[in-house]
Amino acid sequence: MLSYGIAVGYALFLWWFSTGVILYLDQRPERTYPWSMAAATLVMLASFGVLAWSRDMGTVLGAYASFTAGVLIWGWMEMSYFMGFITGPRKAACPEHCRGWERFRLALATSIYHELLIVLAGILMVWLTWGAVNPVGTWTFVILWLMRWSAKLNLFLGVPNLNEDWLPERIRFLTTYLPKRPMNLLFPVSVSVATVIMCLLVDRALALPADGFGASALLLGATLLALAILEHWLLVLPLADGALWSWALGTGDREGAPTTVLDDKAPMLERSSRATGSG
């Protein structure tokens, strides 16, 4: 049981701490963004190295190393978008009275370059771990990617909580593409499918030796998926979770932004990452 607790606790800590670091860096003045991005790029490159190093390690250490690498690579993707370095050709608000497919097309244009970059990164990770004993980092990246798209589609279709206050000023126009609605028809499907998959992962993990590679790998992924499901619920429930990252949100002293304490919902490596980038 201790092994199970360590896996769940580690996934929780990595999610909480890495999200906090991204939030903190996003709240810094924009002149700091190039330095933050440069440091994050070094971490990302090192993470690809860890992914390659651990690909043939069918051990608990290998599972944790690969999982960590997957989360950190995803964190770089989130930072590159929210700091405005890699987005899309459109950098303007949604025109008034724009609806349906036209709104979707324009929203996608705000982030299409970033989406293509994620696809390329995913292909590279699949290539690095194809046929390997330990593809945990790749599956971690895929979980975050799919749940991010699920969250973004739900945001596009309409949810009550957009959390626009914590977005950097340069991309705050994204909220004009996202209507506020009590619920949408996709939400229960998204949450239900993800919950079933999470339960299957946990069930499989519990059937394996607790201190082995398989159980650790599955529980790390299942915990991350559970957190993504929680973040989906926080898009619709009247709950504030900003206190979890009060150390990172601080006073929001971005250049050109009002000085306020952000106490509403924070993102996961942007709310499933990072989700409001309607893209």
Helix (H) or strand (E) run with residue 240 in it: none
- What are the sequence ranges of the domains in the chain? 2-249
Quote the CA–CA distance of 142 and 64 in Å, as a whole number: 16
Q: 25 CB contacts (<8 Å, ≥6 apart)? A: 32, 33, 36, 40, 79, 83
Closest CA to 224 of 10, 11, 7, 3: 11
How confident is the model at residue 97, as a pLDDT? 84
* Burial group, residue 4, by CB count within 10 angstroms (0-12, 13-18, 19+): middle
pLDDT tens for 30-49 read 999 999 999 999 999 999 99
Burial of residue 263 (number of CB atoms within 10 Å: 0-12, 13-18, 19+) = middle
- Read off the pLDDT of residues 147-181 as tens digits, 9 standing for 90 and up: 999 999 999 999 988 766 667 788 888 888 888 88
Structure tokens at 199: 């339960």
- The answer, yes or no, to whether residue 24 has pLDDT greater than 80, is yes
Non-local (6+) Cβ contacts of 35 within 8 A are: none
Given a contact cutoff of 8 angstroms between Cβ atoms, the answer to whether 174 and 152 are in contact is: no
* Residue 129 confidence (pLDDT): 96
| pLDDT, mean of residues 48-60 | 96
Residue 116 · residue 241 · CB < 8 Å: no
